[in-house]
Amino acid sequence: RNEHLDQLANGIDQYLVWEPLGAFLIITPGNIPMHAWSSFVPYALAAGCTVVISPSRQDPVAAETVSRIAMKAGFPPGVINVVHGGRKINKEILTQPEIKGVGFIGSNRAGHELFELCGKYRKTSSINGNGKNMLVIMPDADVDESVGWLTRACFGMTGQRCLGVDNVVIIGDIYDDIKTKFIAAARNMKMGYGLDESTQLGPYATPGGRASVALWIEKSLADGCKMVLDGRNVKAEGYPNGYFMAPTILEDADPDMPMAKEEAFGAVAALIRGESLEQAIDWINTKTYLGHSAAIMTASGKSARKFIRETNVGNVAVNLGVAQPYAFFPLGSRRDSFVGTAKSRMASMRMFMDEKTVVTRWV
């Protein structure tokens, strides 16, 4: 990769050395605590950096448990550190001169505040925020397969994930067939305790999260959407006071509606009638400021290739519901879904290190 050049001139060699920057703040969200931990911490350690991990107060145990295991495995004291605080504490840590940057997965509001601090204090960063992801179903797609992936994409993890889908564009005369089978599949999902393997839909993490989704639904109806499956008042058997909400499906949604632009972060889906692939791609690229991911169901390689090339998002799925990158691949978000120096995982190695160019002459 041109990082080492012998005989650049007579007796002169030149090469690049990568050196660790120092200590980094790693902030993990409540919905994917280990996923976020593993997106930054192993790479920071491999680069020779130390970390201060600040887990979400919604789920602090995972990060602390793994950190304790790492210490028992032989990591020296001070290499992996855990601080339980919140937004105010995180900002205070980030402003310290010993902290060289931050790795973050969470909301845009909190992430952009951190990014502003990084600019002010000259820190490096990887800030991964909200998503508003669209799944496009083409007329040539397999209906049953599409419904299966669609159900998991919209309602998996109770919709509490930045790569989940809540805008569904259906093109052509398969709309009614998709809608009927999607409603049936959603209605049959089993709600219950999240660690029960037979459970398909667990509770919301907090009562506030559930209330936020209920408000999103109310605003969508006020904007003109039509309710075709209402899950707001469905109770989970055995958990009368749980933070549950069954799948909710809306139709007559329009990409220009506010609800079609903002992340719901819940088990909801908005059905949108589309006329063409070109129109769907334009909606993905222009109707929201977010650019996490997009997905397409199709039997056409030509359509898939066009979709991959022309969508302005960081993660694309073909004949899958969610564009979830494997462990070593960056979470390649774009537009307002990402701000910072480098994407996560392997790409973050460059964030944790700094270049030093060395020129030598031996005669």
CATH of domain 133-318: 3.40.309.10
With cut-offs at 50, 70 and 90, classify the pLDDT of residue 2.
low
Out of 101-110, 225-234, 235-244, 324-333, give the one with best mean pLDDT.
225-234
Q: What's the pLDDT score for residue 33?
A: 80
Is residue 195 classed as helix, strand or coil in its secondary structure?
coil
Q: What's the pLDDT score for residue 352?
A: 92
Q: Is the pLDDT of residue 91 over 90?
A: yes
Q: Is the pLDDT of residue 187 over 70?
A: yes
Distances (CA, A) of 360 to 13, 16, 17, 65, 354: 5, 11, 13, 47, 19
Q: What's the pLDDT score for residue 338?
A: 81
CA end-to-end span of the chain: 26
How far apart (Å, rounded) are the C-alpha atoms in residues 158 and 205? 9
Percent of the chain at pLDDT exceeding 70: 99
Q: What's the pLDDT score for residue 192?
A: 93
pLDDT one-digit tens code per residue, 94-126: 999 999 999 988 888 888 999 999 999 999 998
Q: Beta strands 99-105 and 80-82: pairing type?
A: unpaired
Q: Is the pLDDT of residue 230 over 80?
A: yes
Composition of the chain by helix, strand, coil, percent to 5: 35, 25, 40
pLDDT one-digit tens code per residue, 309-348: 999 998 899 999 888 877 777 777 878 788 877 776 677 7
Higher-confidence position of 173 and 327: 173
Residue ranges matching CATH 3.40.605.10 in the chain: 4-129+337-361
For residues 202-209, give the mean pLDDT: 92
Q: What's the pLDDT score for residue 344?
A: 66
pLDDT one-digit tens code per residue, 268-293: 999 999 999 999 999 999 998 888 89
Percent of the chain at pLDDT exceeding 90: 63
CB 128 within 8 A of CB 111: yes
Q: Does the domain made of 4-129+337-361 have the CATH classification 3.40.462.40?
A: no
Mean pLDDT, the chain, as a whole number? 91
E strand or H helix at 219, and its extent?
Answer: helix 207-223
With cut-offs at 50, 70 and 90, classify the pLDDT of residue 74.
very high
Q: What is the pTM of this model?
A: 0.88
With cut-offs at 50, 70 and 90, classify the pLDDT of residue 261.
confident
Q: Which residues contact 333 (CB under 8 A, 6 or more apart)?
A: 128, 129, 131, 291, 292, 293, 313, 314, 315, 343
For residues 26-45, give the mean pLDDT: 86
Q: Is the pLDDT of residue 258 over 90?
A: no
Higher-confidence position of 76 and 32: 76
